[in-house]
Structure 1
Amino acid sequence: MITIREYKKVQSLEEAYELNQKKSNRIIGGMIWLKMETLNVGTAIDLSGLGLDAVEETETEFRIGAMATLRTLETHEGLAAYTNGAMRESVRHIVGVQLRNLATLGGSLYSRFGFSDVLTMFLALDASVELYKGGIVPLCEYAERKKDRDVLVRVIVPKKAGARFDYRSVRPTRTDLPTLTCASVREGDGCRFVIGSRPARAMIFTPEAGSAEQMAEQVQREAVLGSNMRGSAAYRRKLVGTLVRRAAEALENTAE
């Protein structure tokens, strides 16, 4: 059970940053996973008054506030069009609409969960995160860092001409955590695949150009996989080959 001594709805990012330097304080988002911890919080820091819940689209990029919910990502027409529906597919299986109306993008990426559909998808998008003090950092680098006391402000997704996206996952049941996730992008003649829920944190693979079968075999061979209650390493390896092959075929078809 989580116990919160004080609550503060901050008026600026500077105020949020200063409060967050105390180890007992926590920035709160949708409180999906945080409330399940056994934790004593000094001050719960609420960013909801800072206007960070919107998706801004320009000709060159999307700028998504850290407080934007997963439901916002699911229903945003611009993101759906740019990602060929992959963004919607990546979040629509996460429990239910009620939870997706609460869970935030910032919380999902800051947590760096191994099972995160959101992290898998945004790595494929070649996204960057904007930190209040740390500036703009590629998500692939941020995901490997240890958690710190900086404030995640927004996520930046560049628009790449001609890029095509695909997202697939396998789950024991429809709303369960995934056994394996696979986000893919095709740019020109090359493909990039992000494999998550290995069950560790998502990894990026850029196989040599070839047929769908050849790329699937290479990623399947190189993937580092483990076992947990949702599947064995051997089962996951078979899934990697199947999902990558299907994704590569789908990307090839949509590029035609």
Structure 2
Amino acid sequence: MELKGFEFVIGSMVTLRELETHPGFCVYTKGAARDSVKDIVGVQFRNLATVGGSLYGRFGFSDVLTFFLALDTQVELYHAGRVSLEEFSGMPKDRDILVRVIVKKHSLACTYLAHRNTRTDFPVLACALSVDEREGKIVVGARPSKAVMWKMTSEEAKKLREGKLTDGEKEAMFERVSGETVLGSNMRASREYREHLLGVLMERGLDALNQEAQGGEQA
């Protein structure tokens, strides 16, 4: 895993533990990279599980897919070349090989939140939020289908960058995302419980980004 120009290049065999402890990437993501993997089973498992394997499977419970969708992420495939992670997540599974993951650097603020019934269990619901100089994203994972990404309006992203997002605008954003996100039930949680969690996680994430922007302005 290395920084090349304005891109983080992450080989497919980089482990989740390396992702969790990489100082440059953790600083860039404001600790969200660490937060996205720190509760995946245990350190021994994260020393073996890889970033490439986590993304290639496109699992519904994947913290890693949810987190990387919130960034400006591409995957490089042996045959198909570079494609955006959003496009890759919707592609049918085939026998192509995921070679590496590329994350483009921007002036980024992001956060990752998830709820688990027990600390090292699969997430009941996960939510990653990000905003940079181009756009804002909200990603909902473990719904229990694979993660989906929604983009903020240009006005919402602008206000969030400036730390001026109002409670009414947060509520409107939640109503739009919840109305367009299909949530389901499984052995871990009901659809109704996930709907409640989505509101909680989105509010916490938006508040964190709003407050971070306000702190940056004051500094």
Question: Structure 2 length as normaliser, TM-score?
Answer: 0.88
For residues 41-80 of structure 1, what are the alpha-carbon distances to aligned partners after superposition, in whole Å with 9 as ceiling and x for unaligned?
Answer: xxxxxxxxxxxxxx01133010000000000000001110
The residue type paired with residue 145 of structure 1 is M
Equivalent pairs counted in the alignment come to 201
Select between 58-67 and 209-218 the one with higher mean Cα deviation.
Answer: 209-218
Q: Which residue of 2 aligns with 1:78?
A: 24
What secondary structure is seen at the aligned counterpart in 1 of 2:200?
helix
Query: In the TM superposition, what is the alpha-carbon distance from 1:188 to its structure 2 partner?
Result: 4.3
- Residue from 144, 147, 150 that aligns with 2:96: 150
Pick the structure with greater CA Rg.
1
The answer on whether the counterparts of 1:219 and 1:241 sit within 8 Å (CA) in structure 2 is: no
| Residue of 216, 219, 222 corresponding to 2:174 | 216
Q: Give the aligned CA root-mean-square deviation in angstroms.
A: 1.3
- Distance in 2 of aligned mates of 1:82 and 1:189: 16
Q: Which of 169, 173, 183 matches 1:225?
A: 183
SS where residue 90 of structure 2 aligns? coil
| Equivalence map 1:56-205=2 (5 Å) | 56-160=2-106, 162-188=107-133, 191-205=136-150
The 2-side partners of 1:188 and 1:108 are apart by 28
Deviation for aligned residue 1:189 = 8.7
Name structure 2 gaps, 5 residues minimum. 157-164, 215-219
Question: Larger relative contact order (C-alpha < 8 A, sep ≥ 6)?
Answer: 2
Q: Note the residue ranges of structure 1 that are not aligned, 5 or more in a row.
A: 1-54
Q: Counting helix residues as a fraction of each chain, which structure ranks higher?
A: 2
Assess if the C-alpha contact under 8 Å between 1:71 and 1:101 holds in 2. yes
Maintained 8 Å contact 1:215/1:245: no
Q: Return the offset for 1:250.
A: 0.5
Structure 1, 62-71 or 240-249: larger mean CA deviation? 240-249
Could you tell me how far apart the structure 1 residues matched to 2:176 and 2:135 are?
14
Q: TM-score, normalised by structure 1?
A: 0.76
Which ranges of 4 or more aligned residues in structure 1 deviate by more than 4 Å?
A: none
